[in-house]
A and B are shown apart, each in its own frame.
Chain A
Amino acid sequence: MQHATPTASPDFDFGRHPFNLLTADQRAALAGALDIALYPREAVILCREEPTDSLFVVLRGTVQERRGGDVAALHGPGDRFGLQALYGSVGGDGIGAGARRFVAVEECVCHLIPRAALEALAAENSAFGTAILGDFAQRMRDLAAERSNREMAALTMARIRQAYLHPPLFVEAAASLRDAAEAMRQNRASSVLVRGADGQTGILTGTDLRDLVVLDGRPVTDPVGPLARYGLLTLDRDDLLFNALVLMTKHAVRRVVVTENGAVVGLLGQSDLLAVLSNHSQVIGVQVEHATGPDDLRRASRSIVELIRTLHATGVKVSFIADLVTELNRRIFRKLFELLAPPELLANSCLIVMGSEGRGEQLLKTDQDNGLILRDGFDCPDLPRIAAEFTRHLVEFGYPPCPGNIMLSNPEWTRPLAGYKDAIFSWIHRPDEAAQMNLAIFYDAAPVAGDATLLQDAKDYLLGRLQDNQMFFTQFARPTLSFDTPSGLFAALFDRRRGEPVDIKKAGIFPIVHGVRALALEKHRAETNTVERIQVLAELGALDRKMAGDLVEAFTILSTIRLKARVDLPEPGSEEGAELAIDNLVYPDRLGKLDHDQFKDCLALVKSFKELIAHHFRLNH
């Protein structure tokens, strides 16, 4: 619950290191989060049996740190203690550390900084984090640094050659301002290059034109020669992109001229430079929009695989890749449907994608899960042919057919709204394994083309049919526990069997996706994305914040590892081989130490999440 922030915490000493590293806002946040505790003489403040959730800072009095019978340290006002208790490994710490106790020597008052507040500040203010968390933070920061280094390295190594260059558009020095404007319009360019009298090259941008004509009132018949700006910023095509970024930033310009062997070959815009991180995404997007037939789409679709590889190699975050790939896939589906379907079919139906595509968690081309909802009463005689074509083309594009046959070509998934409602009714009231799965993937559905209100209607019907029927949700949630997650007590065993592959989807990703889905369905939520569901569940209080945060983190890490396992496979030479095979096995011994540790942590979290789900839905009864 969010309360008004009181600021009555008395005398917290912000002048003392490391709290003096905090900004005014951070100090206020910390002051608002503090608790205060009073201890009488001889009170045990902290001991092994009493785990703590806070860091202690002494305000008044003296605290003895005792190890066994000996006094190991004294903590007076301003001193802090309890960090080891916060972060020490549970139970396995050896006798020395385990027997540590903190005792009030006299009446003591301590400020207590809750762990969550401490970590939030440490994350926000790295200097403070380093000082306060010390060694513990070292590991976390090393992890973070390694990742951002990789991203930095990729950016710094990229060449201008990898960016999209606008073809150079030249006008003669004698050309008028109007000619220049006309040339820009015809070529959809935002600037022209001017061949100066003495062989120099100048530039005139749209902004210059506006200023010269509109603001300064120059006649449009003035020649561009004397008005263009010379002394261009140029870089060679093989220069580092990073240099272009530096140059643009330094001179506050949005484009540089790119040369090759001394000749101008194009202009590099700031947005193109930034788009290099997302590489071909724009190109693919354009290809899709301009496609005039399935062949064009096929080419665009094939380049998605290359895009994923590049993005991943460039160190782009996996959630970003998922967003981009989802968007591109959906555009391809939409365009294909628009190419195949007559306008009246488009107006009276809704193309939907389900499962991971609906959730927007598509990283690779996985099985097709799609369907079509028709408006009740609408009839399209040509529909079976169109549906079959649609599915056939997608298979050709490299989206494998759905083994469960959840595709447009299956009449079960191409039917009127009323038919969907009937199906939903029976999924809910006569649940068997297939019905459960259908319900689950349909709950994840997202509209791609046509009239989205049809899907909305169907989903409203679905949520409206759900009763607060414990049995139903118990059944629905049960698959969360279907697969074993190697972790916990078996961690040691797991280590010994490092060589054996783990199915990351079954052991890690699916339990999160499905458990979260069950919780979201129980709350009648409309979100489809797993991370969004987790966030909204946390807001509703259905998941505690810490668990929610950890789940998002684990889900991201597992998805990254899964993608990496696929992308890092040696690349076969053939064009077909350029398709990334879908295979979810992860070989722990092939993971780097970093990933391996994270993988273990994530699986442990998945395990405790499964326990939470089991408890919540009473799956063990």
Chain B
Amino acid sequence: MVQSAHTDIDRHSDRRERVAIHCEATSFDLETARPLVFAAIRIRGPRILTGSALLLHPGSDSGLGEAGDRLHAFIGDRPLVGYYLDFAVAMAERLTGRPMAQERVEVSGLYYDRKIRNAVKHAVDLRLDSMIRDLDLPVRPEGAIGTALAVAMAWLRLTQEGR
């Protein structure tokens, strides 16, 4: 792993929170998919607030309207971080009934940029487990919360090292 001696934590010293979000749905087809689980975790500076993470099963542990309200309240206008984020956001917009205009960061994109910059000739393996392994993160991306946590960690690691 290439490490930069340059540390870039100033970026994180601002107290702006972000939210790592992950959605599991009945399919990946945007037209027909129905969200089953949303996991969302706030990130503040270098800290991932797993202790106050949000886990929702819309239509099962909460009504659709209530789930949408809670998700919206949890995210607010915080920038979003995710893996296959556009899909999760589309699902979230459908659930909350509100457009989400905030900044979005796709971790697989960040990861790809870094790999390409380091002149890897063969195709970049963008699967989440491979990323986790390559970034040497102590997490198993199991379940919605596990995935959201893995995303949050990957984002921190990728941005802290400086691109």
Contacts and interface: CB of A to CB of B under 8 A. Distances in A.
Interface of A: 1, 3-4, 6-11, 32-43, 59-60, 107, 109, 112, 114, 117
Nearest to B162: A40
A42 B4 CA distance: 11
28 contacts: A3-B55, A8-B142, A8-B146, A9-B50, A10-B140, A11-B138, A32-B51, A34-B50, A34-B51, A35-B48, A36-B48, A36-B50, A36-B149, A37-B45, A37-B48, A38-B156, A38-B160, A39-B9, A39-B160, A41-B3, A43-B9, A43-B46, A59-B138, A60-B138, A107-B136, A109-B138, A112-B51, A114-B51
A167 B54 CA distance: 63
A41 B161 CA distance: 9
Interface of B: 3, 5, 7-9, 39, 45-56, 61, 136-140, 142-143, 145-146, 149, 153, 156-157, 160-161
Contacts, number: 82
B153 A6 contact: no
B51 A40 contact: no
Contacts of B47: 35-37, 112
Contact of B9 (A10, A34, A40): A40
Contacts of A60: 138
B46 A39 contact: yes
Contact of B145 (A8, A38, A109): A8
Contacts of B160: 38-40, 43
Given A38-B153, A38-B157, A59-B138, A6 B9 contact: no
Nearest to A60: B138
Contacts of A117: 51
B46 A37 contact: yes
A134 B11 CA distance: 37
A461 B43 CA distance: 47
Contacts of B3: 41, 107
Of listed A34, A38, A107, residue having the most chain B CB within 10 A: A38
Contacts of B49: 35
B149 A8 contact: yes
A112 B138 CA distance: 15
B16 to A, nearest CB: 16
Given A4-B56, A35-B51, A39-B46, 6 more contacts: A3-B55, A6-B145, A37-B45, A38-B156, A41-B5, A43-B160
Nearest to A42: B7
A6 B156 contact: no
Nearest to B45: A37
B54 A3 contact: yes
Nearest to B49: A35
Given A35-B48, A112-B47, A40 B149 contact: no
Contacts of A112: 47, 51
Nearest to B57: A4
A36 B9 contact: no
Nearest to B5: A41
Contact of B7 (A36, A43, A109): A43
B75 to A, nearest CB: 13
Contact of A4 (B48, B61, B140): B61
A6 B42 CA distance: 13
A32 B48 CA distance: 13
A4 B156 CA distance: 24
Contacts of B51: 32-35, 112, 114, 117
Contact of B50 (A6, A11, A40, A41): A6
B145 to A, nearest CB: 4
A6 B39 contact: yes
Tell which of B8, B46, B49, B145 has the most Cβ of chain A within 10 Å: B46
A38 B47 CA distance: 7
Nearest to A106: B3
Contacts of A4: 54-56, 61
B138 A6 contact: no
A44 to B, nearest CB: 8
Contacts of B45: 37
Contacts of B50: 6, 8-9, 34-36
8 interchain residue pairs of minimum CB distance: A6-B145, A40-B160, A4-B55, A8-B146, A8-B145, A37-B47, A38-B156, A33-B51
